[in-house]
C-alpha cells in the first residue's frame, strides 16, 4: 500500500503541533529546498550529482553515517560542491526505538564519519531528519538539549517504493509551492530513479521561477519571521 496521498494531510496536522521543527520555507518566497536522504550511494549519488552540476543547483543531503564511512570519497565530492549536509542517523534506525544514549551515539558517530570524510566539524552539522519521519516529543526535547535542529518536509512523493518516475514527478509538481521542502532518496531504496526524477523536475521548477536554497537559508527565514 502506498501512503503518498496521506503525507500532505499528515504534514498539515504535525506542522502546527511541532512548530520548532523545520517543515517548509517562506510561503512568500519563490524558494525551494531539494533534499536527499539515505546516501551516499556509490552508483546513484554520482548520477544525481551530474544532474545537480548541470543545473548548478544547491541541494541538501541527509546522510547515514554507515554509508559515509563506506563511501567517503563520494561524501567529500558532495561537500566540495557546496551542498548542505545533515544527519539521518548511523543505520536508519527509527529514533523513538532508540534509548537516549543510543540516539546520541548514532548522531555523533555520523558526525564523526562526516568529519573524517569531509573535514567538516561536528558543530557545523546540526540538522537532523529522523528516518521515516518518525519522532516523538521526547525526540525533539533531546535534539534541543543536544543542540540539533529537526528538519522535516512538506513534499514527500514516496519515491522509495518506486511507483514510477512519472508518478513521482506528478506528485512533486502537483504539491510544490513557495517554500517547499522536498524529500527524495539517493540510497538503496528509491535511488535508482533519483537522477532521472531530478532531471525532469529541476528544469520545470526553474521555468516556474523557483530557485533552490539550502536548509540553513530556510532556518534563517523561519527565525526572521518570528
- By residue range, what is the domain housing residue 98? 31-224
DSSP code of residue 175: H
DSSP string covering 39-52: ---TTHHHHHHHHH
Q: What pLDDT score does 109 carry?
A: 98
How far apart CA 185 and CA 40 sit, in angstroms, is 10
> Is residue 9 included in any domain, yes or no?
no
Active-site entry in 11, 79, 88, 185: 185
> Is residue 130 included in any domain, yes or no?
yes
Contact criterion met (CB below 8 Å) for 40 and 63? yes
Active-site entry in 37, 38, 127, 159: 37
Residue 24 designated active-site = no
What SS3 class is residue 151?
A: strand
> Is residue 19 included in any domain, yes or no?
no
> Is residue 6 included in any domain, yes or no?
no
Residue 37 designated active-site = yes
> Is residue 122 included in any domain, yes or no?
yes
Q: What pLDDT score does 220 carry?
A: 93
> Is residue 196 included in any domain, yes or no?
yes
Report the pLDDT averaged over residues 126-135: 96
> Is residue 203 included in any domain, yes or no?
yes
Whole-angstrom CA distances from 154 to 139, 204, 213, 217, 224 are 20, 18, 15, 16, 20
Is the model's pLDDT at 1 over the cut of 70?
no
Reported confidence tier of residue 15, pLDDT bands at 50, 70, 90: confident
> Is the peptide bond prior to 40 cis by the omega test (within 30 degrees of 0)?
yes
What residues form DSSP beta bridges with 22?
Answer: 151
> Is residue 66 included in any domain, yes or no?
yes
Q: What are the cell numbers at 111? A: 558526525
Q: Residue 39 sits in a domain of what CATH number?
A: 3.20.20.370
Average pLDDT, the chain: 95
Is the model's pLDDT at 144 over the cut of 70?
yes
Domain count, the chain: 1
Amino acid at each position: 500500500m502506498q501512503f503518498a496521498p496521506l503525507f500532505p494531510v499528515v504534514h498539515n496536522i504535525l506542522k502546527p503541533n511541532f512548530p520548532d521543527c523545520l517543515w517548509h520555507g517562506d510561503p512568500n518566497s519563490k524558494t525551494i529546498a531539494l533534499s536527499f536522504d539515505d546516501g551516499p550511494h556509490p552508483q546513484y549519488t554520482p548520477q544525481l550529482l551530474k544532474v545537480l552540476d548541470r543545473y548548478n543547483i544547491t541541494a541538501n543531503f541527509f546522510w547515514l553515517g554507515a554509508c559515509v564511512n563506506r563511501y567517503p570519497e563520494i561524501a567529500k565530492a558532495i561537500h566540495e560542491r557546496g551542498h548542505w549536509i545533515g544527519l539521518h542517523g548511523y543505520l536508519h534506525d527509527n529514533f523513538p526505538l532508540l534509548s537516549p544514549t543510543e540516539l546520541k551515539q548514532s548522531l555523533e558517530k555520523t558526525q564523526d564519519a562526516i568529519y573524517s570524510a569531509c573535514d567538516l566539524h561536528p558543530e557545523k552539522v546540526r540538522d537532523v531528519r529522523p528516518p521515516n519521519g518518525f519522532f516523538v516529543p521526547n525526540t525533539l526535547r533531546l535534539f534541543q538539549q543536544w543542540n540539533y535542529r529537526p528538519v522535516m518536509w512538506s513534499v514527500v512523493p514516496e519515491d522509495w517504493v518506486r511507483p514510477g518516475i512519472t508518478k513521482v514527478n506528478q506528485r512533486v509538481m502537483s504539491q510544490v509551492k513557495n517554500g517547499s521542502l522536498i524529500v527524495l532518496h539517493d540510497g538503496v531504496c528509491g535511488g535508482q530513479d533519483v537522477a532521472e526524477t531530478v532531471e525532469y523536475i529541476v528544469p520545470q521548477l526553474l521555468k516556474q521561477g523557483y530557485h533552490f536554497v539550502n536548509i540553513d537559508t530556510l532556518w534563517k527565514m523561519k527565525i526572521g519571521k518570528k
